[in-house]
Amino acid sequence: MSVAGVDLDGLDTLVAAAQGGDRDALQQVCRRLQDPMYRLALRFTGNPTDAEDAAQEVMIRLITGLSTFEGRSRFTTWAYSVAVRQLMRTRRRTAEASVAGPEPFADFIDRHLADPEPGPAAQAEHAELVADVRLSCTYGMLLCLSREQRVAYLLGDLLGFTDTDAAGICAITAAAFRQRLARARAVMRQLMAGRCGLVREHNPCRCRRLTAASTAHGLLDPADPRWARHAGVTLPITTDTLNRAAAELDLAAAAAEVYRTDPGFAAPAAVWDNLAHSMSELLTQP
What would the pLDDT profile of 200-225 be if each residue is shown by its tens digit?
888 899 888 899 899 898 888 888 88
pLDDT one-digit tens code per residue, 67-98: 999 988 899 999 999 999 999 999 988 888 88
Pick the CATH number of 1-94+266-286 from 3.40.50.720, 1.20.5.510, 3.40.718.10, 1.10.1740.10: 1.10.1740.10
Alpha helices in the chain (DSSP H): 11-19, 23-45, 48-65, 75-89, 94-98, 102-110, 120-125, 127-143, 147-153, 163-170, 174-192, 211-216, 240-246, 251-260, 269-278, 280-283
Which of 76-85, 184-193, 260-269 has maximum average pLDDT? 76-85
- Evaluate if residue 240 carries a pLDDT over 70: no
Which of these, 98, 117, 282, lies nearest to 209 by C-alpha position?
A: 117
Whole-number pLDDT of residue 176: 98
pLDDT one-digit tens code per residue, 270-281: 999 999 888 887
Whole-number pLDDT of residue 94: 83
What are the backbone dihedrals phi and psi of residue 6, each rounded to the nearest 5 degrees, phi first?
Answer: -100, 125
Percent of the chain with pLDDT over 70: 92
pLDDT one-digit tens code per residue, 13-39: 999 999 999 999 999 999 999 999 999
Mean pLDDT for 127-150 is 92
Q: Where are the domains of the chain?
A: 1-94+266-286, 99-220+231-264
Average pLDDT, the chain: 88
Sign of CA dihedral 92, 98, 101, 105: negative
C-alpha to C-alpha distance for 180 and 33, rounded to whole angstroms: 26
**Banded model confidence at residue 242, pLDDT cuts 50, 70, 90:** low
